[in-house]
Amino acid sequence: MKKTYWLDLELREDIDDLITLEYALTNNSNIKVLSIHNPSRKELQLAQLYREDMLKRNGFCFDLVINGEITEYETENDLSPFIPYNVLIAESVQDFLPLPFEATFEKDVAEFNAKFEDPDKHFNERLVIYKLEDYIKKIDMKGMTVFCGGSLNTLSVLADNFDCSSFEAYVQGGFASYKIVGSKNTLNRFKDREDCPTWNLNLDIEATDKVLKSDLKIKFISKNICHSAWVHKNDILKNTNMFSTNRFKTYLSYLSGKKSKKKCLHDVLAFMSIENKELVEFKEVVLNRNNDDIPKWWSELETNSKHSISVSYNYDLFLDNFIKTFINGIQI
């Protein structure tokens, strides 16, 4: 049975989450929900472009959910229970651009501007945006797989409001030392470490603690493993059909502007591990942290734990899946 996904992402300056969304849609994954915690107006504009593309192509699209407050929001419209699409129309190319590098999506911007001039004509009720507190009253979480590419704030709300046995979660974050993964699978930067800060878990400690104390089954794709999931500009250039759309060309432009010409796609690897069971090996653990201002995390093996953490992965399989998906999948 095909999984149904709730993606909780941050479509901000680091484009790892954006490429994860691209990968999921191109892979034809069944995305039911995309949520963003404290989104900017530009993030919502970008998410709406994806929804509109999906709606045109398939006749349906994923739901878009806001958790928290909108930053850089420039209208006085009430957000409850949802925001009409026309409220979020960009007024200029510069206002639309969501990413910190030079790129223009001329066709998309032209369509946005047309909607801005006559919003009522273009409004589609299937493109409404929900607030999380309203959305949880209507969603059925049974069988859902939640993927977290940011803080665990949204996941903590779901764990509070639903039966944790009815859904599962995959989280990009956590840490397991060489004692768990073995010296062979330990990256050099972590080879002498038994504990380590981990970004996503530390973004909202209260939410993370709440999730870990819940009965939710979670797999963590840890930084000591996923921080070697590099994609180089040359990997793309070897496959000339891969980035044929404007958005993929934008990614190529992003890599070209980086001194290293490569990007670590840890969120993509984490999401990919859900559907490809041969990609990542997991072990059952308990996650612990200290009480430092920036907490350090470690894992301890525990049989029958509801939590598992990555201990190794197949890089060649990761890169092969990434390339083949964008060549053979649905072009967005």
pLDDT single digits (tens) 280-290: 999 999 999 99
3-state class (DSSP) for residue 238: coil
The one-character DSSP state at 245 is S
User: Among positive and negative, which fits the CA dihedral 200, 201, 205, 208?
Assistant: positive
Tell me how many domains the chain contains.
Answer: 1
% of the chain exceeding 90 in pLDDT: 48
Give 148's strand partners: 8, 171
What the block records as the tokens of 111 is 């369509």
CA gap 263, 254 in Å, rounded = 9
Q: State pTM to two decimals.
A: 0.83
Mean pLDDT of 29-47: 87
User: Among positive and negative, which fits the CA dihedral 295, 288, 297, 272?
Assistant: negative
Place of tokens 């921080």: 227
Q: Dihedral through CA 7, CA 12, CA 16, CA 18, nearest 10?
A: 60
Lowest mean pLDDT among 74-83, 171-180, 216-225, 270-279: 74-83
3-state class (DSSP) for residue 120: helix
The one-letter amino acid at 163? D
% of the chain exceeding 70 in pLDDT: 75
Structural domain that includes position 220: 4-328
Quick check: 180 and 40 in contact, CB under 8 A?
A: no
Place of tokens 């990542």: 280
Q: Dihedral through CA 49, CA 51, CA 57, CA 58, nearest 10?
A: 180
CA gap 117, 41 in Å, rounded = 19
Quick check: 26 and 326 in contact, CB under 8 A?
A: yes
pLDDT of 124 reads 60
The one-letter amino acid at 184? K
Q: Distances in Å between the alpha carbon of 161 and those of 64, 69, 201, 311?
A: 19, 20, 20, 31
Q: Is 241 exposed, middle or buried (0-12, 13-18, 19+ CB in 10 A)?
A: exposed
CA gap 283, 288 in Å, rounded = 15
CA gap 2, 22 in Å, rounded = 19
| Average pLDDT over the chain, rounded to an integer | 80
The one-character DSSP state at 290 is -
Residue 91 has pLDDT above 60, yes or no: no
Residue 267 has pLDDT above 90, yes or no: yes
Residue from 49, 62, 60, 64 nearest 107 by CA = 49
CA gap 122, 67 in Å, rounded = 26
CA gap 257, 170 in Å, rounded = 31
Q: What angle do CA 112, 113, 118 make, to 5 degrees?
A: 100
pLDDT band at 127 (very low <50, low <70, confident <90, very high): confident
Return the CATH number at 52: 3.90.245.10
